[in-house]
């Protein structure tokens, strides 16, 4: 019988935080510098997914079975579809309302993991989850301009929140069903590519009048996003969804705020400072408890 450590998710979650933290600090540059449309950002993100997909699948067999395809397409479509719905919501509603709602997606993941996967958390881990979720919402609070089209943007924001929470849950469920990381990510990539025509229709065609620097900068920043998504799949396959989701969603914005301060001189808001404190406290509690509860469990070889 072979064994593995239950905290093997931590290195992948750490890499995810690095890639998504850097991406968060740089992701707005194409829009700020060139007014590049958000749907075009989606198109280039979907294309950059091919890079980590190729790396992860190189020398490995791509699982084309119904189970892998079903989970992979569901994970990909909820993630990519949620991104497109978010773009639509932001065109009709205020960002300062939409983003805090979307930021609650880890709570959806936690509830699904506890209910459907029977994951269990101790008292300190629960405290860490709550602190991390509050931190995520604080990071998402911004001072946008008011506006909106009735209640539609609220419904769209709730839809994105649920979609992304479900996506993370099914990443874990796919791993428990025996689908390997590379195949899951490969199907996610296919899903993202399938929705490119929708993004193009949202723009009324491909915008070709922008200088080459706009798509180049967008592709570079979105590659960070894509690689981070691969590490999310890898972390979810190795750790509890009820811990991985809030930890990663709380810590990545911490790095984003720090890098924004160092690179652009952007002073953190009171909400962001509070979010940093809660994110570090909550994540420390969860990771600490994971380390304390480390044990050998049957199933796979020690790395």
For tokens 């590490």, name the residue.
Answer: 231
pLDDT at 106: 95
Alpha-carbon gap, residue 16 to 255, rounded angstroms: 11
| pLDDT of amino acid 2 | 35
**Over 90: is that where the pLDDT of 291 sits?**
no
Count CB atoms within 10 A of the CB of residue 203: 14
Distance CA 213, CA 229 (A): 24
Model pLDDT for residues 92-130, shown as the tens digit of each residue? 888 778 888 898 899 999 999 999 999 988 888 899 999
pLDDT per residue over 31-89, tens digit each?
999 999 999 999 999 999 999 999 999 999 999 999 999 999 999 999 999 999 999 89
Tell me, what's the pLDDT at 226?
98
Per the model's pLDDT, the better-predicted residue between 251 and 151 turns out to be 251
Q: What single-letter DSSP state applies at residue 147?
A: -
User: Is 226:52 a contact under the CB 8 Å cutoff?
Assistant: yes
Percent of the chain with pLDDT over 90: 73
Output DSSP code: residue 301.
Answer: -
Residue 153: what pLDDT?
A: 87
Strand partners of residue 201:
none
Domain locations in the chain?
A: 13-292
- What would the two tokens of residue 181 be? 């990381």
| H or E segment to which residue 225 belongs | helix 213-236
Q: What is the pTM of this model?
A: 0.89
pLDDT tens-digit readout, 185-242: 999 999 999 999 999 999 999 999 999 999 999 999 999 999 999 999 999 999 999 9
Encode pLDDT of 191-204 as tens digits.
999 999 999 999 99
Residues 6+ apart with CB under 8 A from 124: 285, 288, 289
Q: Which residues contact 89 (CB under 8 A, 6 or more apart)?
A: 98, 153, 156, 157, 160
Alpha-carbon distance of 183 to 272, in angstroms, equals 37
């Amino acid at each position: 019988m072979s064994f593995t450590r239950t905290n093997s998710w931590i290195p992948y979650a750490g890499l995810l935080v690095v890639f998504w933290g850097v991406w968060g600090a740089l992701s707005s540059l194409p829009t700020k510098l060139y007014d590049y449309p958000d749907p075009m950002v989606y198109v280039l993100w979907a294309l950059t997914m091919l890079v980590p997909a190729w790396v992860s699948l190189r020398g490995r067999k791509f699982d084309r079975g119904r189970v892998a395809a079903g989970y992979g397409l569901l994970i990909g479509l909820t993630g990519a579809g949620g991104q497109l719905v978010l773009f639509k919501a932001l065109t009709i509603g205020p960002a300062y309302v939409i983003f805090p709602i979307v930021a609650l997606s880890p709570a959806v993941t936690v509830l699904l993991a506890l209910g459907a996967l029977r994951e269990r958390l101790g008292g300190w881990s629960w405290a860490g989850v709550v602190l991390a979720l509050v931190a995520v919402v604080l990071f998402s609070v911004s001072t946008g301009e008011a506006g909106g089209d009735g209640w539609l943007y609220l419904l769209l924001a709730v839809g994105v929140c649920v979609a992304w929470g479900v996506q993370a849950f099914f990443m874990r469920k796919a791993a428990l069903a025996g689908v390997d990381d590379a195949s899951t990510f490969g199907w996610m990539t296919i899903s993202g590519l399938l929705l490119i025509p929708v993004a193009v229709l949202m723009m009324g065609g491909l915008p070709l009048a922008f200088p080459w620097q706009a798509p180049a900068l967008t592709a570079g920043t979105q590659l960070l996003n894509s690689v981070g998504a691969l590490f999310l799949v890898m972390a979810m396959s190795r750790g509890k969804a009820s811990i991985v989701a809030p930890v990663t969603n709380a810590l990545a914005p911490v790095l984003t705020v720090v890098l924004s301060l160092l690179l652009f001189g952007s002073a953190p808001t009171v909400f962001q400072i509070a979010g940093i404190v809660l994110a570090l406290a909550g994540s420390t509690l969860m990771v600490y408890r994971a380390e304390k509860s480390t044990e050998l469990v049957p199933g796979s070889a020690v790395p």
